[in-house]
Amino acid sequence: MRRLIADLYKIVYRITHSETGSFIFALTYISALNLLTVYGLIVLTEGLFPFLRHINKFFTTRYVVVPALVLLALNFWLMLPLYKLTEERSIKPHVGPIILYSLISAVLYGYTLFFTR
């Protein structure tokens, strides 16, 4: 996840030249993709592991803020120390993994919306 956030940070920084805005956008975008991926995997494996139905309630009710904040904090913790981001800005970002992870998350979430009901 650190590599994805760092590459997205570099791309957004080259467009906006804002360190804080680029970091916040990259962190929230990857955290949202993680949230969609975790939700999709929980829905897909509910049949194998019945206890996941209780965890799924956190994603389908108003308590979705709890797993979102947990994933945001986890991704922020993975990004520490932050000074390495400014050092890595000159390195060329890799766009492929960001696009691939975005597609995987969208497919998982789309599958849970249209084929599991």
Q: Which of 35, 36, 13 is nearest to 23 (CA)?
A: 13
Q: Does 90 or 48 have the greater pLDDT score?
A: 48
Task: State pLDDT tens for residues 14-31.
Answer: 999 998 999 999 999 999
List the domain boundaries for the chain. Answer: 2-114
pLDDT on residue 97: 94
CA 57 to chain centre: 20
pTM: 0.86
∠92-93-96 over CA atoms, to 5°? 135
Instruction: Centre a 10 Å sphere on the Cβ of residue 23 and count the other Cβ atoms it contains.
Output: 21
